Amino acid sequence: MSKADAEPLSDFIRDKVAEDVATGKYDGRVVTRFPPEPNGYLHIGHAKAICLDFGIAEETGGVCHLRFDDTNPEKEDVEYVDSIMEDVRWLGFDWGEHLYYASDYFEKMYECAIKLISDGKAYVCELSVDAFKEYRGVPTRPGKLTPGRDRSVEENLDLFGRMRAGEFEDGRYVLRARIDMDSPNLHMRDPALYRIKHAPHHRTGDTWCLYPTYDFAHGLEDSIERVTHSLCTLEFEVHRPLYDWLLEACEVYRPAQTEFARLNLTYTVMSKRKLLELVEGHYVSGWDDPRMPTLCGLRRRGYTADSIRRFCRGVGITKVESLTDISLLEHHIKDELNRTARRVMAVLDPIKLVIENYPEDQVEELEAINNPEDESAGTRAVPFSRELWIERADFREEANRKFHRLTPGREVRLRYAYFVTCTGVVKDDATGEIIEVHCTYDPATRGGDAPDGRRVRGTIHWVCATKGGEADVRLYDRLFSVERPDTVDEGPASATTRDSAGTSGNFKDNLNPDSLTTVRAKVEPAILAMGAGEHCQFERKGYFFSDPKDSREGAPRFNQVVPLRDSWRKRSS
Ligand code: ATP
Ligand code: MG
């Protein structure tokens, strides 16, 4: 168990599970499941569900199943199946032998449908989706009885068999539960159980042209696996009466569904459909673009599994819908990397600094501390010479007293090196642009301290122009420029519309055009020696991660994980 899981957690779901164990409900068993639909990559919201489902199993000595809810062939793919397994493992969870696919239950589900038809609890309906909506009506008024509702059992069985045999085109018939067209809960107004879809499935191939709906399939999946606690997000609360009705009508084992609030993050969209739109429209470089809230994107950005688990613990489990500030996620990775990341020096926006009184051909090695938070990380040698790179923003030709960095006549410390005093600048004759900053150094201040006790207000970082190198660095801002980019309500409808195309809304209008800036940075030799997938802190700048995909030996490419300070607002204004 990692440190992130040191203290026991408590919330209303864990309390209920503990109570059920204590009272011997389900014979003391605890079986949860994480049931992703393999129609996209997992995102940080899924991490919340994973930490809950697998977390409860771990804490109670129970088991958690990984189940692919693959009942919707058109949008599903093995690429997603593989990525989901990789991401769950990466987060640190293990399903052992409990890997399941809803598609393995298609035959059993079909048998349950036959039972419902035989018991007069389901019927074949010829209404189109739109026509049925008319019959179903609105919650405040009773609906109308559908035309096929009184078809005989024999005729229903015959039609349903022919639906399976492939006699009808898509949409010609659906199988509906016969429940209550007057129920105030629209989900109880004869919901669809099966739809005709002539689409090959990534696991069952052409075996089926008939696929169960989410509502029919999900409870049966839980039941077949003898799940005890079926945990899902709040939008399924209104589906619970149907979940219970179907399992009772099928006369099968009944797990209990409990709902919790989903994770929503500021400046983020969190629906696979929208994330897919960003990928397909090339608004991002892929599902693992480091700006994406996907687990593979966050991983590539440099987030650790531990930081995400800590974040999920911090958010907690409640029944109250809320919007979590993305800076909370950033806090957890910053906190971790502050303890673990080695410090190095890189100049992101370079300007040359020339030390007039430093010997022309000399290069010396100065000792730099790798991590002030961790003595065991030791020190390294950093080359220093007459010409250095410093940040353009660390120099001002004119500055007031509050500016503690380089300006003519002012002395500052070069980190781990010497005190230098600015003497002036060299400008491009034609453009007037400053091309060099000049200074003199005090050889007595080697290491960064003056023997006479004199002090400087500012310390700046630098890179040796002779021995340093260059690396590509990606700087990120928020992917969206507004706190709530989701202009489309993702409320209760989302659960039932998961297999309809839906409208995209205009969340893409809220994309931040400046979310990615790539710079060619000047870097100290230790940075060039870094392999792929390593964390570091560029001193005074932020935490960075050498991209696992794009880094090459001797040529790492860096992703900014988080800036040191909350400079987001400053940069985007
Ligand atoms: P999305 O709405 O992003 O497309 P989904 O709910 O359709 O996701 P599923 O594959 O069905 O995706 O999700 C698997 C599990 O993850 C479900 O139990 C779902 O409730 C849970 N889950 C999905 N999104 C969130 C979220 N934002 N916060 C917490 N749990 C979530
Ligand atoms: Mg959903």
Helix/strand/coil for 14: helix
The set of catalytic residues is 37, 262, 272
Residue 11 counted as domain residue: no
Listed residues: CB within 5 A of ion ligand 2 = 494
Residue 112 counted as domain residue: no
**pTM of this prediction exceeds 0.85:** yes
Residue 57 counted as domain residue: no
> How much is the pLDDT for 117?
98
- Cα of 494 to ligand 2 centre, how many Å? 6
DSSP state, residue 480: B
Residue 465 counted as domain residue: yes
Report the atom number in ligand 1 closest to the C-alpha of 270. Answer: 3
| Nearest Cα to Cα of residue 263 among 290, 295, 287 | 295
Q: Best mutation site among 50, 233, 324 for ligand 1, i.e. most ligand atoms within 8 A of its Cβ?
A: 233
Residue 355 counted as domain residue: yes
- Cα of 111 to ligand 2 centre, how many Å? 27
Strand partners, 543: 537, 562
> How much is the pLDDT for 492?
42
Report the atom number in ligand 1 closest to the C-alpha of 53. Answer: 18
Give CA–CA dist 148/341, Å, rounded: 67
Residue 236 counted as domain residue: no
Distance of CA 386 to the CA centre of its chain: 45
Angle at 315 (CA atoms; ends 313, 320), nearest 5 degrees: 135
Q: Best mutation site among 11, 39, 46 for ligand 1, i.e. most ligand atoms within 8 A of its Cβ?
A: 46
Angle at 572 (CA atoms; ends 570, 573), nearest 5 degrees: 70
Ligand 1, atom 13, residue with closest C-alpha: 36
> How much is the pLDDT for 8?
87
| Nearest Cα to Cα of residue 151 among 182, 112, 120 | 120
- Cα of 329 to ligand 2 centre, how many Å? 22
Q: What are phi and psi of 34, to 5 degrees?
A: -110, 115
Give CA–CA dist 72/178, Å, rounded: 23
- Cα of 253 to ligand 1 centre, how many Å? 24
**Nearest-ligand number for the alpha carbon of 218:** 1
Q: Answer positive or negative: Cα dihedral of 441, 424, 388, 340.
A: positive
Phi-psi region of 28 (alpha: psi -120 to 50; beta: other; left: phi over 0): left
> How much is the pLDDT for 486?
84
Residue 392 counted as domain residue: yes
Of all helices (H) and strands (E), which one includes residue 246?
helix 240-250
> How much is the pLDDT for 505?
55
Distances (CA, A) of 256 to 277, 336, 467, 472: 34, 37, 65, 52
Q: Answer positive or negative: Cα dihedral of 6, 12, 15, 16.
A: negative
pLDDT in tens, the chain (573 residues): 454 556 789 999 999 999 999 999 999 999 999 999 999 999 999 999 999 999 999 999 999 999 999 999 999 899 999 999 999 999 999 999 999 999 999 999 999 999 999 999 999 999 999 999 999 999 999 999 999 999 999 999 999 999 999 999 999 999 999 999 999 999 999 999 999 999 999 999 999 999 999 999 999 999 999 999 999 999 999 999 999 999 999 999 999 999 999 999 999 999 999 999 999 999 999 999 999 999 999 999 999 999 999 999 999 999 999 999 999 999 999 999 999 999 999 999 999 999 999 999 999 999 999 999 999 999 999 999 999 999 999 999 999 999 999 999 999 999 999 999 999 999 999 999 999 999 999 999 999 999 999 999 999 999 999 999 999 999 999 999 999 998 644 444 444 333 344 444 589 999 999 999 999 999 999 999 999 999 999 999 999 999 999 999 999 999 999 999 865 444 433
User: Ligand 1 pocket by C-beta < 6 Å: which residues?
Assistant: 35-37, 45-46, 48-49, 232-233, 262-263, 270-273, 494, 498
Residue 51 counted as domain residue: no
Tokens of residue 376, six digits: 């065991």
Our count of domains for the chain comes to: 1
Full domain range(s) for residue 347: 342-473+516-572
Ligand 1, atom 16, residue with closest C-alpha: 46
Report the atom number in ligand 1 closest to the C-alpha of 498. Answer: 7
Q: Answer positive or negative: Cα dihedral of 533, 329, 471, 459.
A: negative
* Total residues found in the chain within this entry: 573
Where residue 529 sits, what CATH number does that domain have? 2.40.240.10
